[in-house]
C-alpha cells in the first residue's frame, strides 16, 4: 500500500482537532436532522450513531480510509475462500455455516456446502430424538439435563446464545455449561443432577484440549461410578474431528459431530458447536438463528459502505482507538438475557484483534484492539456508570435494547427503555456548571453550599455512544447481532492490517502450565524457574503440607 496505515490514521487528526471545539450538544442544537443523518438499518435492526464525535467530513474521511485499505477487496477475498488466516494458512469461512443460498461455496476449489448441510441434518435428527425422548439414558430414562463441556469458543458462544434465548427453552430440558478446569465448576454443576437423566456433550475439535478433557474425564467417571462403565456410550456425545479419540472415550460414531479447520473457535457457534443451543431451543429456532446471521452477512457483503452497519461501527471504533486514544469500549445490553453477550464479545474482539504485529510480522506502529467489557443495564448504572459519566477516561459505549419484551409485566420494560435512552442522552449532553448552579439554587441552597457542590455535580458530556434497537430478541435477531459484531471485528482488523483469525497469544501460558504441573504435583524438583515462581511453588507446597 503506497500510503502507510499510520499516515492514513494520522490524517484523521485534523478532524479530531475541529471536533474538539464543537461538542455534540452543540451539533445537535445546530442540526435537527442529526438522527436521520447518522442512523442506518439492516432489516429490523436500527443503529443510531448520531451521539458520536463526528460530522460529515469525518465520516467521509473514515469511508475514504476503508477504501484506501481496500476493505471491499478484503471482504471479497474472505467470502471467496482465500486463506486470509495467513499464519495458519487457512480460509475463514464461518459465513458458509449459515449460508442460505443455493450457489456453491468453495474452499480450495471444493464446494463445502454439502458437508455443512450434512452436519446440520445430523444435528437436526439428534436434536429431535433427544427432545422427543427417542434417545434416552442407559436406564431408559429421558434426559432432563444436558451438560456441555468445552472452553473458549466451545463454551462462550453456546452459553451466551442459550441464555439469550431462554424464552424458547423447555423447563423439562435444562442446559448447563462447564468450562473452567477449577473442579468447583463441574462439582457445582453436577450437584443435584441425576446421572440417569444427564447427557454430556464434549466440545473439543482435537479432543485434546486440557481443560475440556480433564472435565470430560471426571464427568465420565461420574457416570461410570453411578451407572457402570457400559453406560458411558449412552450418556455422551462429542463435537470433534478426532474420531479415534472419541471412540476410545466410549462415544458412539453417530453421536460425533464434526467441523472444519476453516471455522475458528470464536466463530463456531454456527457449527456443530451450536448443538447444545439447538437442543435447548429446538432445531427450528436454531435455524432461525442461522438465518439471522445470514441476513447480516448479506447486508455486510452487499450494502454500500456508507449504509453498512458493521462498517460504520468498525470505523467508529478505529476513529476512537487511533485518533482519540480511547483504550476501552463498553457493550451495555439492556436485556438481562444478554448478560453473557459482552463476555462473548470479549473473546470475539480481543482474541481477534489483540495483536502487536501486522500480517507481515512487523511491529504495529498504531494501536490495535481496545479492551471490550460491559454488563447489563440497569445494574451497571449502580456500579461502573459513575466512571463512564465522570471519570477521567472517555469510554465509547454500545447500548442494545428491544422494543418488545417477552414478558408482559408493565411497567418493567417501559422503565428499562426510559433508562437506556436517558443514559445515552446524559453521556452526550452532560451537565454544565450553569445548569448545576441553577438546579442547586432552585433547591434553596446557599452560595457556599452551591460553590462546594457544583464541581461534584457537573458532567463533562460529549461522551460517545451507539444505540442498537430492534423489535424483539428472537433467535433471528440474536443471529444478526452476533454476525454484526463479527463483521465489525473484520473491518477493524483490515484497517489495522492484523490477522484477526489466529490466537498465538494463548499458547505460551499453556506451554508453561504443562511444564509446571509436575512441580506443582511435587514429582519434579522446584528448580529452573524465576525466583517468583519458585517462591510461589514453595509456599503452595507448604500450604498443602507437602515436603520440599
Q: How many Å apart are CA 181 and CA 261, to the nearest integer? A: 25
**Candidate list 362, 382, 407, 527, residue with the active-site label:** 382
Q: How many Å apart are CA 325 and CA 13, to the nearest integer? A: 11
Residue with cell 430414562: 141
Residue 349 is placed in which grid cell? 474482539
Whether 351 is catalytic: yes
Quick one: DSSP state of residue 85? B
CA 189 to chain centre: 23
**Candidate list 351, 375, 476, 486, residue with the active-site label:** 351
Mind giving me the DSSP string for 396-464? -EEEEEESS-SS--TTHHHHHHHHHHHHHHHHHH-B-HHHHHHHHHHTT--HHHHHHHHHHH-B-----
Q: How many Å apart are CA 166 and CA 321, to the nearest integer? A: 35
Dihedral angle, C-alpha 429, 13, 356, 156, nearest 10 °: 30
Contact of 546 with 522, CB cutoff 8 Å: yes
Cβ neighbour number for residue 503 with a 10 Å cutoff = 21
R_g over Cα of the chain: 26
Whether 287 is catalytic: no
Contact of 99 with 294, CB cutoff 8 Å: yes
- φ, ψ of residue 54 to 5 degrees: the values are -140, 160
Q: How many Å apart are CA 62 and CA 65, to the nearest integer? A: 5
Contact of 274 with 265, CB cutoff 8 Å: no
Nearest to 494 by CA among 244, 363, 318, 288: 318
Contact of 328 with 19, CB cutoff 8 Å: no
Residues whose CB falls within 8 Å of the CB of residue 29, separated by 6 or more in sequence, listed in order: none
Contact of 345 with 411, CB cutoff 8 Å: no
Measured between alpha carbons, how far apart are the two ends of the chain, in Å? 59
Q: How many Å apart are CA 449 and CA 401, to the nearest integer? A: 39
Q: How many Å apart are CA 354 and CA 504, to the nearest integer? A: 10
**Candidate list 510, 514, 539, 542, residue with the active-site label:** 510
Q: How many Å apart are CA 372 and CA 345, to the nearest integer? A: 7
Question: Any bridge partners for residue 90, and if so which?
Answer: 85
* Residue positions annotated with a catalytic role: 351, 382, 510
Amino acid at each position: 500500500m503506497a500510503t502507510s496505515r499510520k499516515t492514513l490514521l494520522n490524517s484523521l487528526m485534523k478532524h479530531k482537532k475541529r471536533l474538539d471545539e464543537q461538542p455534540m450538544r452543540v451539533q445537535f442544537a445546530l442540526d435537527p436532522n442529526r438522527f436521520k443523518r447518522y442512523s442506518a438499518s439492516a432489516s429490523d435492526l436500527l443503529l443510531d450513531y448520531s451521539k458520536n464525535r463526528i460530522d460529515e467530513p469525518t465520516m467521509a474521511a473514515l469511508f475514504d480510509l476503508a477504501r484506501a485499505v481496500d476493505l471491499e477487496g478484503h471482504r471479497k477475498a474472505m467470502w471467496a475462500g482465500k486463506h486470509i488466516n495467513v499464519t495458519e494458512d487457512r480460509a475463514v469461512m464461518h459465513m458458509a455455516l449459515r449460508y442460505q443460498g443455493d450457489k456453491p461455496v468453495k474452499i480450495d476449489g471444493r464446494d463445502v456446502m454439502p458437508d455443512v448441510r450434512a452436519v446440520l441434518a445430523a444435528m437436526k435428527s439428534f436434536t429431535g430424538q433427544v427432545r422427543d425422548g427417542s434417545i434416552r439414558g442407559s436406564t431408559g430414562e429421558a434426559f432432563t439435563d444436558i451438560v456441555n463441556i468445552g472452553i473458549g469458543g466451545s463454551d462462550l458462544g453456546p452459553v451466551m446464545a442459550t441464555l439469550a434465548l431462554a424464552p424458547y427453552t423447555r423447563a423439562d430440558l435444562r442446559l448447563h455449561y462447564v468450562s473452567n478446569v477449577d473442579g468447583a465448576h463441574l462439582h457445582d454443576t453436577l450437584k443435584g443432577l441425576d446421572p440417569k437423566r444427564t447427557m454430556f456433550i464434549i466440545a473439543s475439535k482435537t479432543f485434546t484440549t486440557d481443560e475440556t478433557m480433564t472435565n470430560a474425564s471426571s464427568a465420565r467417571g461420574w457416570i461410570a461410578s453411578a451407572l457402570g462403565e457400559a453406560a458411558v456410550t449412552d450418556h455422551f456425545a462429542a463435537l470433534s474431528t478426532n474420531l479415534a479419540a472419541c471412540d476410545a472415550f466410549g462415544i458412539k460414531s453417530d453421536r460425533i459431530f464434526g467441523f472444519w479447520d476453516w471455522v475458528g473457535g470464536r466463530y463456531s457457534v454456527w457449527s456443530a458447536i451450536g448443538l447444545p443451543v439447538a437442543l435447548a431451543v429446538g432445531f427450528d429456532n436454531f435455524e432461525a438463528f442461522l438465518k439471522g446471521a445470514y441476513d447480516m452477512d448479506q447486508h455486510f457483503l452487499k450494502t454500500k459502505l456508507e449504509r453498512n452497519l458493521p462498517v460504520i461501527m468498525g470505523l467508529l471504533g478505529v476513529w476512537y482507538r487511533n485518533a482519540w486514544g480511547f483504550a476501552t469500549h463498553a457493550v451495555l445490553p439492556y436485556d438481562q438475557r444478554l448478560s453473557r453477550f459482552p463476555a462473548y464479545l470479549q473473546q470475539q474482539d480481543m482474541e481477534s484483534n489483540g495483536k502487536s504485529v501486522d500480517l507481515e510480522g512487523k511491529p504495529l506502529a498504531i494501536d490495535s484492539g481496545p479492551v471490550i467489557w460491559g454488563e447489563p443495564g440497569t445494574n451497571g448504572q449502580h456500579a461502573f456508570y459513575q466512571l463512564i459519566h465522570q471519570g477521567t477516561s472517555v469510554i465509547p459505549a454500545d447500548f442494545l435494547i428491544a422494543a418488545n419484551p417477552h414478558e408482559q409485566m408493565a411497567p418493567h420494560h417501559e422503565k428499562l427503555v426510559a433508562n437506556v435512552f436517558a443514559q445515552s442522552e446524559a453521556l452526550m449532553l452532560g451537565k454544565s456548571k450553569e445548569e448545576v448552579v441553577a438546579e442547586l439554587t432552585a433547591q434553596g441552597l446557599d452560595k457556599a453550599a452551591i460553590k462546594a457542590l457544583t464541581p461534584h455535580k457537573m458532567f463533562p458530556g460529549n461522551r460517545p455512544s451507539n444505540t442498537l434497537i430492534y423489535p424483539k430478541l428472537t433467535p433471528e435477531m440474536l443471529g444478526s447481532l452476533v454476525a454484526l459484531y463479527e463483521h465489525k471485528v473484520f473491518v477493524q482488523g483490515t484497517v489495522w492490517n492484523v490477522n484477526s483469525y489466529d490466537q498465538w497469544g494463548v499458547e505460551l501460558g499453556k506451554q508453561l502450565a504443562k511444564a509446571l504441573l509436575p512441580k506443582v504435583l511435587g514429582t519434579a524438583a522446584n528448580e529452573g524457574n524465576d525466583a517468583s515462581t519458585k517462591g510461589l511453588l514453595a509456599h503452595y507446597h507448604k500450604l498443602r503440607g507437602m515436603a520440599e
